Amino acid sequence: MSSSTNPPKKRLKSVFSSTPEPSPDSAPHHRLVAHVKPVTTLRAGMTATSGLGLFASPAGLSAGSSLASISASFVMSVPRSAQSPVGVAVSSILSPPPPGEFVLWLDMAKGRREHLHPCHPYLASLPDEMADVPSWSPSERLGLKGTNLGKGSDDSSAELEEMIARYLPPLLNATGEYRGMFEGLRGGDGIRWAKACYRSRRFPGSLLQKTGEGKYGSAKDGILLPFLDIMNHRMGAKMTWEAIDEGGLITFVAGEDVAPNSEVFNNYGGKANEELMMCYGFAIQNNAEDCYRLKLVVGGGEDGPTDLGTFDIYRADTNGRHEQFPRELWKALASLYVEEEEGVEGEEGGDDEQLEIGIEEVELLLATLTSRLRPFDATREADEVAEKGELGETHKESAIAMYRCGQGDVLRQSVRTLEGYRQNEVYNE
């Protein structure tokens, strides 16, 4: 991670192991020494592919050992930003106030610029360019045109631009004691940067609620944990997050042994490539958690189109982690073919009750998914080459190809399953 400031390295060694030396890019994080419980088990350094990361010391790490703890009083959150000078000013200037997360983004953007902000060392250490897809340029997102991710990123960008257009001008035009307070945010780039950082680095707000600083935590919003958020993701990595009321600490604990000098990974959890791309800007080849998000709108009769809802369709090979087709999808489709007073057979029972699926539902879903598959089939060969990144593709081009391959795989498997239903006339789920 880049930064314009590099504190003396001698201040770093009380937190990180001194062999090997932390990279210059990691130096700003050492200014957090007063807020991170001193440990000698970790060092910060540059990875081969993911930028800044955390590494085990030459002694390695054993399962159950504490990696580092951060004071809950230094965590950034929506409630804390609402009570900050930024939050107080915003509530005085804007009525009704903007969403809480927007106030947090304002606080982050100002804190990055202002050296007296309590979180300035952390915010100043974060990268200038963000990886999440909504932060990409239109030309970089071109390969996502017509996909769910493309629409989602466009909608996310449009929503943020609408908030900036609505809330920033009154803040810039404030008079009295708040005159000029938000001048450094003119143009909105700092707010765009803050939203991207927040989305890619947030942890569950429930962690803060379990500490003595619980009043500053919100279960529905994320929190930012300086230093601890350096860890990169690896599917299946065993890592425990702990909130300790005594002393108000949030601690990370290794769930497995880590070899000497090896990178220490966090685990973002099982996420489909669409979510990974949307928040973090990377994809996983052959991601077992991939799904296709089907927004199903049918008909166009007297009452107009019917929105049946949005349903996640998964790969066929998830080893029982997910239903390939959710029961709610079959129930929604069945509702199109029964009179209202009849109801849908099986809808009163629980998940274990057998659900009768008719040929009409199968045919409708098959036709829909076959249509959705065609664009991915058209680029399949090129995508399978590009996802390997062997022909000079950029990281973003390869990630788009991985996403497209994953979407095509899910749809292709779903079509095969439905064709099997139709051929065998088996419609019981």
Those residues with Cβ within 8 angstroms of residue 207's Cβ, 6 or more apart along the chain or in another chain: 217, 223, 225, 241, 243, 250
Residues 32-84 have pLDDT tens digits of: 444 555 456 778 788 877 677 888 888 888 988 888 788 888 889 999 999 99
pLDDT attached to residue 214: 56
Residue 412: closest CA among 359, 376, 386: 376
Mean pLDDT of 320-335: 92
CA 67 to chain centre: 23
pLDDT attached to residue 33: 42
What pairing do the DSSP bridges indicate for beta strands 66-71 and 249-254?
Answer: antiparallel
pLDDT attached to residue 136: 95
pLDDT of 302 > 90? The answer is no
pLDDT of 387 > 50? The answer is yes
In this prediction, residue 319 has a pLDDT band, given cuts at 50, 70 and 90, of confident
Residues 350-376 have pLDDT tens digits of: 555 667 788 899 999 999 999 999 999
Buried b / exposed e along 201-236 (16+ C-beta atoms within 10 A): bbbbbebbbebbbbebbbeebbbbbbbbbbbbbbee
- Taken in order of first residue, the domains within the chain and their CATH numbers are 1-274 (3.90.1410.10), 283-424 (3.90.1420)
pLDDT attached to residue 269: 76
* Coil/strand/helix, residue 44: strand
pLDDT of 198 > 90? The answer is yes
* Of residues 264 and 41, more confidently modeled: 264
Q: Lowest mean pLDDT: which of 147-156, 176-185, 268-277? A: 268-277
pLDDT attached to residue 39: 53
Beta bridge partners of 290: none
60: left (phi over 0), alpha (psi -120 to 50) or beta: left
* Coil/strand/helix, residue 76: strand
In this prediction, residue 23 has a pLDDT band, given cuts at 50, 70 and 90, of very low
| 111 contacts 121 by C-beta, under 8 angstroms | no
* Of residues 219 and 144, more confidently modeled: 144
- Cα–Cα–Cα angle for 103, 109, 110, rounded to 5 degrees: 90
DSSP states along 208-264: HHTSTTGGG--TTSEEE-TTGGGPPB-TT--EEEEEETTTTEEEEEESS-B-TTPEE
Beta bridge partners of 309: 296
What pairing do the DSSP bridges indicate for beta strands 263-264 and 52-56?
Answer: antiparallel
Mean pLDDT of 178-202: 96
Q: If you average pLDDT over every residue of the chain, what do you get?
A: 83
Using CA atoms, how far apart are residues 335 and 84, in angstroms rounded to an integer? 51
Which two structure tokens, joined as six digits, stand for 325?
């087709």
Report residue 309: phi and psi, to 5°.
120, -175
**pTM for this structure?**
0.82
pLDDT attached to residue 15: 28
Place of tokens 């050992």: 65
